[in-house]
Structure 1
Amino acid sequence: MSITITPRTSILIRTGVYWLATLPVVVESAVGAGWDLLRTPYVLDTFDHLGYPAYLLAILGVWKVLGVLTLIVPGFPGLKEWAYAGIFFVYTGAAASHLAAGDQSMAVATPIAFAVFTLISRGLRSSARFELTSIVALVIPVRRLADK
């Protein structure tokens, strides 16, 4: 049996994967921004453990809010690049900080997973994401799997 993916189906799959990667990033960043701005005890304890000053929470919280808004509001492609970069830096910085502090593997793996979601979201968000080459790149592996 052969499965043929039409260009429309391919676009729908790609859009679905985009949102599956984007939603966790947006939700985590929004919740994290709230926790940072409210200076919750958990975040204060974590920052203290990692050796960061508490005033950094206000800076990170404001930038996270702006990043989330940038990702969910249509348009502003240049600004979205900055938002993706900033969010990626937050996650990779968190992973490196926990690693340097000798924390458990989940404290390192979780921000790395969110960094990967951020990269996937960014890759699928591209203004060129619906070009024919992108569609072909998605369709060919699906057909190869169907032939097995």
Structure 2
Amino acid sequence: MKSAKIIFWVSTTLIFLFEGVMPALTSQTEMAKEGIRHLGYPDYFGVMLTVFKVLGALALIIPQVPARVKEWAYAGFTFDFLSAFFSNWAVDGLKGATFFPLIVLAVLIVSYINYHKINDSKVKSLSL
């Protein structure tokens, strides 16, 4: 149980840093805006995506957020990472950087699995 908590917090903190803090600090840089344009998306899409990433990252990292909201955040990030992978693949082809969203998705999956290990054990102990 203790290892599940450690793995959960490490993986969730990584997601929080990559998907909450970094976009909040860098989304309005010219490099970030050009990245969105390069993929063929309008500028407002980057702003909208940043808002949702920050809110989702906060939902995952704050323990008091209801489980249903966390589930939606996990789902949203899954769609985001898969979409990023396919967008990069469609525009740039299969290169090393194309796979980065799938690596972050793997970290998200580790977080999700351990989130459920922790919560399922809480539910079992409450029902005893």
Q: Quickly name the TM-score band, shorter chain normalised.
A: 0.7 to 0.9
Higher helix share: 2
Find the partner of 1:32 among 23, 45, 56. 23
Deviations 1:93-115 (A, max 9, x none): 11111011124523221110001
Deviations 1:37-82 (A, max 9, x none): xx21111111111111011111111111111111111131000001
Q: 2:107 matched to 1:117? A: yes
The question of whether the paired residues in 2 share the 8 Å contact of 1:33 and 1:60 is answered with no
Task: Calculate the TM-score normalised by the size of structure 1.
Answer: 0.73
Gaps of 5+ in 2: none
The residue correspondences of 1:7-26 to structure 2 (distance < 5 A) are 11-26=1-16
The question of whether the paired residues in 1 share the 8 Å contact of 2:84 and 2:101 is answered with yes
Q: Which has the larger radius of gyration?
A: 1
Task: Calculate the TM-score normalised by the size of structure 2.
Answer: 0.84
The question of whether the paired residues in 1 share the 8 Å contact of 2:56 and 2:73 is answered with yes
| Aligned equivalent of 2:71 | 81
Gaps of 5+ in 1: 1-10, 133-148
